[in-house]
Amino acid sequence: MRILLLAKKPPYPARDGEAIAIGQMAKGLADLGHAVTLLYMNTAKHHFPAAEIPPMYGVTFISHEVRAGIGAIGALRNLLGTKPYHVDRFFSKSFKDKVLTLDAEHHFDVIQAEGLYLVQYLPLSGTDSVAKRIYRSHNLEFEIWQNVADHQFKKFRKRYLQIQANRLKSYELEVLKTHVDGVLPISTVDTGYYQTLMPKLACMHAPTGMEIPGASPNLVTGHDIYCIGGLDWLPNIEGLYWFFEAVWPKIKAMLPESTMHLAGRNAPKNFGEALPEGVKFYGEVPDAVAFAADKAVCVVPLLSGSGMKIKIAEAMAVGKVVVTTYKGAEGMPEGMDLHLYVADDPMEFAQLVTGLLLSPESTRDKGLDAQRYMMRNLSNSAIAERLIDFYQTLSPQ
């Protein structure tokens, strides 16, 4: 098949969940022998030349310069219209023209939007395009922003985010009816949402596939935990502040020698200067697997967000035990919950972490069980094969 993927950022470097999800999708399809082209927006925030993406992906990468910065004037002006600001700021006429040109040249069988903001570039039915139009839903965007709004205390900011969340919900329903032949939610919870919202729309749960390392997890006897993730994503920052204030003091009280290792890119200004005692901040690290290797437990504290949490899957793939919240565990692939330790109560969260740290052999065995689950259920090739079967069942409207 000839497949065009549309993304708002490059898949490389694979340093956040979205980039990993995009890259693994492209690689999995290409590894099966399909002709995959990935057209991505090269914005100032995530700028990376297509020529420098490693050729091992087996994908044709095309970058397109797009200005998509956040500005106060644009955000306020958006209130005069009806579209979500997030959709408006990712619109580019030249990017749209590029999609149409590529489709005219290659006659794609499938054009897939990686995320809600790219759906506006899918060809409308009735045009010359013969492509099946797919929306890959990484998250329920409206739910993320509603969750963030719920935790805001500044009245104007809270109201603005509520407006945007409502607009995103209405916009998604509109484009599902007019722009899409099929939807691929990454999360199980999101899959149920779409199947209820539009039961006649073709829908398949398609979690992010992983390349599972062959090595078994090492025995870690130290009292070290870690957390890794993009620090320019509000749910991550929000969850970390909750963890620092409510959970970490309890862990230190029970296990004074414990240390938390935190890594992530694009941290807020002065973020590393006011962290609690026992927390070490590394900024962006070049190798997430190497960073995790000598730590016993991965913590993923999330109070908001949606979709599949890639950092949880990554940790399990290398044999790490994960402690997270119910929001963090929500929407993960079926059966993964059996390998997660979940708590919303700060004391219960702290007790789970310290109990695992104090039982290193048992914790290693539990990590190995998690890794085996990943090998059976989330290998990239198996998910790509199911996806091709899904494409072939569709007929463009």
In contact, 226 and 301? CB cutoff 8 Å: no
What are the CA-CA distances from residue 201 to residues 96, 177, 180, 183, 333 (Å)? 25, 9, 9, 8, 21
Q: What is the CA radius of gyration of the chain?
A: 21
Q: What are phi and psi of 39, to 5 degrees?
A: -100, 120
For residues 373 and 383, state if they share a domain: no
Q: Which residues contact 83 (CB under 8 A, 6 or more apart)?
A: 167, 171
Q: Which helix (H) or strand (E) holds 105?
A: helix 93-106
Q: Position 28: which residue type? A: G
For residues 129 and 251, state if they share a domain: no
Q: Is residue 219 part of a domain?
A: no
For residues 267 and 337, state if they share a domain: yes
Partners of residue 13 on adjacent β-strands: none
Residue 218: the pLDDT is 85
CATH assignment of the domain containing 323: 3.40.50.2000
Q: Is pLDDT above 90 for 41?
A: yes
For residues 341 and 387, state if they share a domain: no
Residue 55: the pLDDT is 81
For residues 140 and 270, state if they share a domain: no
SS3 assignment for 196-263: HHCCCCEECCCCCCECCCCCCCCCCCCCEEEEECCCCCHHHHHHHHHHHHHHHHHHHHHCCCCEEEEE
pLDDT band per the 50, 70, 90 thresholds, residue 291: very high
pLDDT band per the 50, 70, 90 thresholds, residue 126: low
Q: Is residue 254 part of a domain?
A: yes
Residue 125: the pLDDT is 65
Region of poorest pLDDT, from 98-112, 119-133, 161-175: 119-133
Total number of domains in the chain: 2
pLDDT band per the 50, 70, 90 thresholds, residue 114: very high
For residues 62 and 173, state if they share a domain: yes
- Give the integer Cα–Cα distance in Å for 17 and 29: 18
Residue range 342-378, pLDDT digits in tens: 999 999 999 999 999 999 999 999 999 999 998 888 8
Q: Is residue 218 part of a domain?
A: no
For residues 252 and 282, state if they share a domain: yes
Q: Is residue 242 part of a domain?
A: yes
What are the CA-CA distances from residue 297 to residues 192, 336, 338 (Å)? 31, 16, 16
For residues 283 and 389, state if they share a domain: no
Q: Is residue 49 part of a domain?
A: yes
Residue 150: the pLDDT is 85
Q: Is residue 215 part of a domain?
A: no
Q: Is residue 236 part of a domain?
A: yes
What are the counts of helices (DSSP H) followed by strands (DSSP E) for the chain? 15, 13
pLDDT band per the 50, 70, 90 thresholds, residue 58: confident
Structure tokens at 347: 């004391």
Q: Is pLDDT above 60 for 177?
A: yes
Residue range 325-347, pLDDT digits in tens: 999 998 888 889 899 999 999 99
Structure tokens at 167: 């607009």
Residue range 198-219, pLDDT digits in tens: 999 999 999 888 877 767 788 9
Q: Is residue 145 part of a domain?
A: yes
**Structural domain containing residue 269:** 224-377
For residues 197 and 175, state if they share a domain: yes
For residues 250 and 360, state if they share a domain: yes
In contact, 135 and 120? CB cutoff 8 Å: no
For residues 238 and 175, state if they share a domain: no
For residues 68 and 183, state if they share a domain: yes
